[in-house]
Amino acid sequence: MQPTTLRYSGVICCLLFLLCLLTITTYAQRKEVSYKDNLVVLMIHPKDTSIVVDPLTGEEKFVLTSKSDDVLSLNREKVYRMDDEHVIELLKQAVEERISGIPRQLGKGTYNYYVETVVINKRGEVAYQQPGSVFPVRVTDLDGKDVTPTLTDGMRQLLNDEIAHAVESAKVPPVEKDGKPVNIVVHLNGSFVVE
């Protein structure tokens, strides 16, 4: 016969374990997405809030943050997270070529863009991408005045669409792991300057 304290300790440990599993399942959710005749399985992470301090003004702000979704598989095959610099550079070049005529319509400044998740299959084709975003880099003049260029919703949407089209139509060489072509996921970040 076991002492009573050991029995209750086991029950408490099981309850704590179940609580941890419940927390994990509420934090991230598995999701299947069909995209261009591909089945992509993602682990979706919810958005969170953080307090950020503006280094110039010392003002505290709440900002929404989110972790990139994890890509688990593409058409039931493993997807590797590999930040292949050659692939990323080819995707950036495709984006820069695609949006080269648009900046004339923007205000002077530096603009950043990102496409959070780009899945490339074994043949070097983009099999899935999540919508990205474009935003101007915040600029403050010597007097502390904000002189960041504005970006209208229509122009932002046009840039996002052009970037998505450039990424989707890009062809990159297959990436190999241990001598075999594999599916990979990369995160694309870039910028362009309008003078």
> What is the chain's pLDDT, residue by residue, as a tens digit (195 residues)?
555 555 566 666 666 665 555 554 445 687 888 888 899 888 776 766 777 777 767 788 777 665 666 888 889 999 998 888 999 999 999 998 888 877 677 778 888 898 888 999 999 999 999 888 888 888 777 777 777 778 888 888 988 999 999 999 988 999 999 999 999 999 998 888 887
Largest CA distance in the chain: 82
**Sequence-distant (≥ 6) Cβ neighbours of residue 102 within 8 angstroms:** 158, 159, 162
The pTM of this model reads: 0.71
